[in-house]
Structure 1
């Protein structure tokens, strides 16, 4: 299976802004984060196909996984 991974903000240090990777069938969001060496789990926002995703969510061929830092302001 092939998914597109898009990294934003602080997560750009883990890889290119946008890349395609091959993953095993039944791979999860957490598997993709591990593949990029992203260990942070407390302050992270992940979208799959522009919808909020959880670490245990399984991915499908052609999915787009977007990884963000939380944004705050005041």
Structure 2
């Protein structure tokens, strides 16, 4: 299945802004995050098709997965 993955902020460094990924059916969001070498502790927001999701959410054909880092500041 094909899924569009969009990265935000410093997750784009040495990666990509958005990319179409060919993934096996029943792939979970966490597997994509792990495959990109992103530490799960650094992930602030995960969204599929503009709706919040979790690492355990299964992706479907033509989904758009957005991965945002934790926002820090003070």
Give the TM-score, by structure 2 length: 0.87
Deviation sequence 1:13-68 (CA, Å, 0-9, x none): 25110100000111000011011111233542111100011000000000000011
Pairs aligned (count): 74
Compared CA separation, residues 57 and 14, structure 1 to 2 (3 A)? farther
Please, what is the CA RMSD of the aligned residues? 1.7
Bigger CA drift: 40-49 or 25-34?
A: 40-49
Structure 1 counterpart of 2:54? 54
Q: For the residues of structure 2 that align with 1:7 and 1:55, how far apart are their CA atoms?
A: 15
Give structure 1 stretches of 5+ with no counterpart: none
C-alpha contact 1:14 1:36 (8 A) present in aligned 2: no
**8 Å Cα contact 1:4-1:65 kept in structure 2:** yes
> Which residue does the alignment assign to 1:66?
66
Match of 1:3 in 2: 3
Mapped pair 1:35 → 2:35: yes
TM-score under structure 1 normalisation?
A: 0.87
